[in-house]
Every structure is written in structure tokens, then in C-alpha cells.
Amino acid sequence: MNLRTVMVIGAGQMGSGIAQVFAMAEVNVILHDQEEEAVQKGVQSIERNLDRSVSKGKISEEVKASTLGRIEVATELKKAQQADLVIEAIVESMEVKKAVFKSLDHYAPSHAVLASNTSSLSITEIASVTERPEKVIGMHFMNPVPIMKLVEIIRGLQTSDETYETIKEATEHLSKTPVEVKDFPGFVSNRVLMPMINEAIYAVYEGVASIEDVDEVMKLGMNHPMGPLTLADFIGLDTCLSIMEVLHDGFGDSKYRPCPLLKQYVQAGWYGKKVGRGFYDYSVEE
């Protein structure tokens, strides 16, 4: 497939990052969100990222300008009519994703591949609401998208070899590394990562050590670049809880039971860095 235009659904942290890397790879991008304010915030986030790269000498002002020039914004899903590939990067809710994919299936041209950036949900189930399940696939980018090299590619039950090869090539075009993963809850990345984060939260919940000390043990003892609780704040505690619930429901194994403290933080609205409070307090930062 000749990949001329990619539409990204969702202009948040992940969606704007995906839009940025495609635009930097000289692909035209339509960045979509339901509200004009949200989509403009996404563009502003991309511009800040590019400004940092310019200031560090990684890219030129010309590259920044040409990258931004390839990004068009939209608030209507019917813009998918122009896309060769649509990547959904919205809230981690099966029902919401199904509704979006049903609409995308209606609007997108018949050759277009429909991909989800879901971090844990079933690609097979998402594909079931479309008339093109063979062209539905998971394309799970890591956060922050412009920096992280991995893309998990998840094949649903009916995903075709042609669709897989298209997404593999698109991933390589972005100078990222594709890894093929089967359609199981949490795939590989979050099936391994989230129980570790959940166990770190249990260590705090049970009074084994403080938040700071749990993070320090994992950084100094396991050589992790950041502690699991800092990472949880960065991912979003609401997202962490959602993924743990998917793992618990999908496997029916008590080892995936979300820690009560994680649930309590989410109930309090302490979602992490994006709201200024999670396991750490970010309200004093810029």
C-alpha cells in the first residue's frame, strides 16, 4: 500500500506523538479529536517537542516547519475518507473504541487499514464491528512516541498477512522496530510491565517501603531508568487500572488483581502527572 495519508484519532499524548513521527517521516497526517480545543492542544504539544529538538540541534527550523506543514487538523471522523491508514489512540474503553471503528469502517476507503493503539484490549473484538476485520490490526506505540523505538504489532484472528506487512513496513519507515505479538490481554509489554507496577503499589499499600524507596530499589537494584511508581504516574494511574482490569478479566487469575490502593487513587482523581497528582505531587512543577 502506498502510504500517503495517515489519520490519527485522538490528539492526546499518544495521538499527538504518533502524528508527529509520521509527519517527520514525510507522511501527510490528519490529526483528529472531537473538540477543536483538544486538537489544537495536540498541535501545540507537537510544536513544543519540535522546538526542543531544534534547540538541541537535532533538527533544523526547516524540518520543524515542514513537519508542521504536513499536519492537518479535523474534528469530524468523515475526514477518514482521505486516509490510507487510520490509527485510533483514544480512551482505553472497548465500547468507545468499537463505536469509533464502526464509524471509521463507514467513512474510510475500502483499501484503508484501521489500526488501534490499544495497550491491552482485544483486536479481534474491535475488528468484529467492521466489515473489514482482515484490515484491522493493533499498532501499539510506546510513550513517549517520538523517543521509544518499539511498536507492538498485534494481529487479530482475521488480520491478513497483507495488512501485517503493510503495518510492519510503515513501522520501519518511522525508524522504529516492529515486534509481532498475538492477540492476548495486555499483549507482551503490559502483561509483563503492569503486574510489576501493581506489585510495587502493593509494597506501598502493605507498608513494606515508602513510595520513594520502592522506586529507589528498582532504579539502583534493577537498573531501571525510572521507578515503577514514577512510571505509573507517567502512564496514568487510570490507564494502569484499566489494563490491570483487562488482565484480571481476560485471564481470571488472582495474580492480576488490581491493588486496592491503585483503585483508591483513581477514585480520588489522582491519575498521575497529567493531573498534577498521583503517587507524587507535581503541582509544584512548571
Q: Is 215 annotated as a binding residue?
A: no
One DSSP character per residue, 178-189 reads EEEEES-TTTTH
Cis peptide before 260 (omega within 30 of 0): no
Q: How far apart are CA 83 and CA 113, in angstroms?
A: 9
**173 and 220 fall within a common domain:** no
Q: Is 268 helix (H, G, I), strand (E, B) or coil?
A: coil
How many residues comprise the chain? Answer: 286
Q: What is the mean pLDDT of residues 41-56?
A: 97
The pLDDT-based confidence of 233 (bands split at 50, 70, 90) is very high
**163 and 213 fall within a common domain:** no
Rounded (10°) CA dihedral 67, 40, 17, 154: -120
Q: Does residue 141 contact residue 14 with C-beta atoms inside 8 Å?
A: yes
User: Over the stretch 98-151, which tens digit does the pLDDT of each residue have?
Assistant: 999 999 999 999 999 999 999 999 999 999 999 999 999 999 999 999 999 999
Residues facing residue 113 across a β-bridge: 85
Last residue of a domain, one of 148, 182, 216: 182
Last residue of a domain, one of 182, 198, 229: 182
Q: Is 283 annotated as a binding residue?
A: no
Q: What is the mean pLDDT of residues 39-67?
A: 97
**24 and 77 fall within a common domain:** yes
Q: Is 12 annotated as a binding residue?
A: yes
Which CATH number goes with the domain that contains 248?
1.10.1040.10
**121 and 226 fall within a common domain:** no
User: Over the stretch 151-200, which tens digit does the pLDDT of each residue have?
Assistant: 999 999 999 999 999 999 999 999 999 999 999 999 999 999 999 999 99
Q: What is the mean pLDDT of residues 217-232?
A: 98
Average pLDDT along the chain: 96
**96 and 13 fall within a common domain:** yes
pLDDT of 2 reads 81
Q: Is 58 annotated as a binding residue?
A: no
Q: Is 34 annotated as a binding residue?
A: no
Name the strand (E) or helix (H) holding 137.
strand 136-141
- Domain tally, the chain: 2
Q: Is 10 annotated as a binding residue?
A: yes
Percent of the chain with pLDDT over 70: 99
Active site residues: 119, 140, 152, 190
Indicate yes or no: pTM above 0.85.
yes
Is the predicted pLDDT of residue 285 greater than 60, yes or no?
no
Q: Is 274 annotated as a binding residue?
A: yes
Please report which residue ranges of the chain form alpha helices under DSSP H.
13-24, 36-55, 61-69, 94-107, 123-127, 161-173, 189-205, 211-222, 228-235, 237-251, 260-267
The pLDDT-based confidence of 1 (bands split at 50, 70, 90) is low
Last residue of a domain, one of 147, 182, 217: 182
Phi, psi of 265, deg, nearest 5: -60, -40
**139 and 200 fall within a common domain:** no
Q: Is 227 annotated as a binding residue?
A: no
Which amino acid does the sequence have at 63?
V
**140 and 220 fall within a common domain:** no
Residue 282 lies in a domain: no
Q: Which three cell numbers stand for residue 70?
A: 504536513
Q: Does residue 22 contact residue 115 with C-beta atoms inside 8 Å?
A: no
Q: Is 143 annotated as a binding residue?
A: yes
Residue 260: domain span: 190-274
